Amino acid sequence: MSADKPSLGSAIRAALLTGEPKEKIRATRRVARDWRLGRLVFSFPEPMPDRPVWPDGLELLPPTQMPRRGRGGSLRAQVASWHALAHIEFVAIDLALDMAGRFGAQQGEEFVSDFLGVAADEAMHFALLARKLGQFGSLYGALPVHDGLWQAACDTKGDVAARLAVVPMVLEARGLDVTPAMIDRIRQGGDESGALILSRILDDEVRHVGIGVKHFDKVSLTRDECPRKLWQNLVRKHFVGRIKAPFNDSARQAAGLPRGYYAGIAS
């Protein structure tokens, strides 16, 4: 390790172990910036934590026990929807950080650079959504959340191909499917600022899925496997849920995820 530079792995680990939302945003942006500017040495002296730290008092419930969000366009329903989106983006910060920190040593500098860029994007998305919640007089942590997204990380922590298959290529790809309808609904309700936030997130997520596909293809080649067949096998093994229509085929294609990947295992 360079005598005058801290390690990249330690900086990522510190961001994962930062729970207060504003501080996690700062820590994530800092590690991405410091790595880009050459202030960190490519070294991973410590393992990544099994779990990231989340805000004190955040109430975690099983997905089946989450309260109903309310009806229609009521204030309660709007707050619940924006809070759920904020939680997705908050966890996405840690998913991207963990991807870079857990698998970076074996996958190399380009892999780390790509996923630290993703983490910085997710931090920005969360900041936008947290500000939106504030406009409703609420804040992140005001409502219960579920732990399903991080469970996917736990289930794939031993295999970079499985992590890439499930997180960017299933979970983030699902965002490509459902977000356009959300944008239309929010815009029809007169919330143009909310629609613009989701449009920005959608554009970034296309790129994020593409990053996942790029690195999944590289891993597949090193294993002498057909990417499509390997992806389908890993999803069947590691993804708890269904790959279900409707699909945003154009956005998925733009991300490098053609219909031939998922149509054969969709339910």
Q: What is the pLDDT of residues 90-149, one digit of tens each?
A: 999 999 999 999 999 999 999 999 999 999 999 999 999 999 999 999 999 999 998 888
Domain 73-265 has CATH 2.60.120: no
CB 155 within 8 A of CB 171: no
With 80 as the cut, is the pLDDT of residue 267 above it? Answer: no
Q: Given this model, what pLDDT does residue 70 score?
A: 61
Q: Given this model, what pLDDT does residue 72 score?
A: 61
Closest CA to 101 of 36, 166, 26, 15: 15
CA 230 to each of CA 102, 136, 177, 216, 226: distance values in angstroms, whole numbers, following the listed order: 21, 44, 22, 9, 6
With 60 as the cut, is the pLDDT of residue 212 above it? Answer: yes
The model's confidence at residue 3, banded by pLDDT at 50, 70 and 90, is low
**Distance of alpha carbon 155 from alpha carbon 239, whole angstroms:** 8
The model's confidence at residue 4, banded by pLDDT at 50, 70 and 90, is confident
User: How much is the pTM?
Assistant: 0.95
Range of weakest confidence among 42-46, 69-73, 224-228: 69-73
